[in-house]
């Protein structure tokens, strides 16, 4: 059997490429290298702006040309770095050589020795990862999550008054509305999304073991911790001043745990919508030309929600591994975090793919209110809660002598189907006040939804 031409091994780079492509600007190898170049260039400019070691600030024109190295980072730089890394066997060193090479080409070789000055690779890496993850989350992932929350909120508002039989423990229970149930997910997701939006993205910039030793050896009078903090904060990041050789990754652990938490809520959403579809509560809107089943022409499979469910499980497992692995580093540094962090994009990729499927799926369903109404009308026994609660209130008010209203209703309804006429006859015979009787006789399962519509108003 002949070998296939080169193919992507991951489906994220194959069939799902279009859905996750925006993440590659930040969380691919090329995205990471572009951010590394950005850190190297900006550090070089920070040093010369302070006229350290007898240098002078670079002209505005030369700054623009230097910054173009990362702002216009493209295939030629990607190829250059791949070739150089094959020789250096060190990715960050290859980036340093790239910057030095471009300095020579720009006629700025006199400041070339300040490239990567006093840095360990992890100063560059921690800053580059903080930049790329921050940008991927705030520019790609969070907006997609927001779009899903917006879709849920719109559905909640649209169906806030659509009465629906609840199924606690899978059994008929006190009615609610579809809008309120969908709104629960919007409320949950928005809360965790706010926590993610407030996340810290930290970097360290303190040398080989977090002590600024080389910096102080080069210039003992400079305020290196202050210079480092100002530099990191100028990039829009938070500064971690107390580290080993690596930034401790605790901010990443916190972020990935929260993103995994969002994934758990979304997984719950996917399985609930799938179940509502199976019950006939939602019908799926046919997509022209689409095939639901290869052999059963009538079917429209809920593939959006099934796809989302599976990808959330994959991303959740990866985020759990990231959080568990990145929290530990032996002594002053080991290399386990290096290969682990290369999978950040894979974890976010599966999460983004799930969000994309959920957004699409929520736009391809239609509420079958006739099915909801029929289900409610077949389960009048759910009013037993209302009846026994009203009787309790009547007893408390001295308007009833019934001794055990719960047992009375249990005998009537438990394990039995009762209809509207059965309950009406039962209520007519109760020893309660006339006003209470009238309220109960006016009830139906479809009208027994309490403040469900008002709850949606809190979104």
Q: Give the residue carrying structure tokens 């019908």.
A: 283
Active site residues: 169, 293
416 and 400 in one domain?
A: yes
* Per-residue pLDDT of the chain in tens (459 residues, 90 and over written 9): 888 888 888 999 999 999 999 999 999 999 999 999 999 999 999 999 999 999 999 999 999 999 999 999 999 999 999 999 899 888 999 999 999 999 999 999 999 999 999 999 999 999 999 999 999 999 999 999 999 999 999 999 999 999 999 999 999 999 999 999 999 999 999 999 999 999 999 999 999 999 999 999 999 999 999 999 999 999 999 999 989 888 888 999 999 999 999 999 999 999 999 999 999 999 988 766 565 655 655 657 888 999 999 999 999 999 999 999 988 888 878 777 778 889 999 999 999 999 999 999 999 999 999 999 999 999 999 999 999 899 999 999 999 998 988 888 788 878 778 889 988 988 998 899 999 999 999 999 999 999 999 999 998
CA–CA distance, 133 with 131 (Å, rounded to integer):
6
Quote the number of domains for the chain: 3
CA–CA distance, 344 with 128 (Å, rounded to integer):
13
What's the CATH number where 170 sits?
Answer: 1.20.200.10
280 and 368 in one domain?
A: yes
400 and 264 in one domain?
A: no
Whole-structure pTM value: 0.92
59 and 133 in one domain?
A: no
- The answer to whether residue 30 sits within a structural domain is yes
Q: Considering just the CA atoms, what is the radius of gyration of the chain in Å?
A: 31
What's the CATH number where 80 sits?
Answer: 1.10.275.10
Please give the residue range of the domain that contains residue 40.
11-119
- The answer to whether residue 6 sits within a structural domain is no
- The answer to whether residue 291 sits within a structural domain is no
């Amino acid at each position: 059997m002949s070998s296939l031409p080169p193919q992507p091994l991951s489906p994220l780079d194959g069939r799902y490429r279009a859905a996750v492509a925006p993440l590659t600007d930040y969380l691919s190898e090329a995205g990471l290298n572009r951010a590394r170049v950005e850190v190297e260039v900006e550090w070089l400019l920070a040093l010369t702006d302070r006229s350290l070691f007898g240098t002078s600030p670079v002209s505005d024109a030369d700054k623009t040309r230097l910054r173009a190295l990362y702002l216009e980072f493209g295939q030629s730089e990607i190829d250059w770095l791949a070739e150089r890394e094959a020789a250096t066997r060190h990715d960050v060193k290859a980036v340093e050589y790239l910057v030095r090479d471009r300095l020579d080409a720009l006629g700025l070789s006199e400041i070339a020795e300040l490239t990567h000055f006093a840095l360990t690779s992890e100063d560059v890496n921690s800053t580059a990862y903080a930049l790329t993850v921050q940008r991927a989350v705030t520019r790609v992932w969070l907006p997609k999550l927001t779009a899903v929350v917006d879709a849920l909120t719109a559905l909640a508002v649209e169906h806030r008054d659509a009465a629906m039989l609840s199924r606690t423990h899978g059994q008929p229970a006190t009615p609610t509305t579809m809008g309120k149930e969908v709104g629960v997910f919007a409320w949950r997701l928005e809360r965790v999304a706010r926590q993610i939006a407030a996340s810290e993205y930290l970097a360290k910039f303190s040398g080989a073991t977090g002590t600024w030793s080389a910096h102080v050896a080069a210039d003992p009078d400079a305020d290196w911790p202050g210079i480092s903090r100002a530099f990191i904060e100028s990039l829009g990041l938070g500064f971690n001043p107390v580290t080993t050789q690596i930034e401790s990754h605790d901010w990443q652990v916190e972020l990935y745990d929260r993103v995994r938490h969002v994934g758990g809520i979304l997984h719950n959403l996917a399985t609930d919508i799938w179940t509502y579809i199976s019950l006939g509560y939602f019908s799926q809107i046919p997509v022209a030309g689409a095939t639901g089943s290869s052999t059963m022409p009538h079917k429209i499979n809920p593939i959006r929600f099934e796809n989302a469910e599976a990808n959330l499980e994959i991303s959740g497992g990866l985020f759990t591994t990231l959080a568990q692995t990145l929290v530990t580093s032996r002594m002053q540094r080991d290399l386990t975090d290096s290969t682990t962090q290369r999978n950040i994009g894979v974890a976010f990729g599966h999460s983004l793919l799930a969000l994309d499927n959920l957004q699409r799926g929520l736009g391809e369903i239609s509420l079958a209110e006739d099915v909801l109404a029929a289900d409610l009308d077949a389960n009048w026994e759910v009013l037993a809660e209302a009846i026994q609660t009203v009787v309790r209130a009547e007893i408390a008010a001295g308007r009833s002598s019934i001794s055990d209203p719960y047992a009375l209703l249990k005998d009537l309804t438990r394990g039995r189907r009762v209809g509207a006429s059965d309950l009406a006859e039962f209520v007519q015979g109760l020893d309660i006040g006339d006003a209470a009787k009238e309220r109960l006789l006016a009830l139906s399962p479809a009208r027994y939804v309490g403040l469900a519509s008002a709850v949606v108003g809190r979104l």
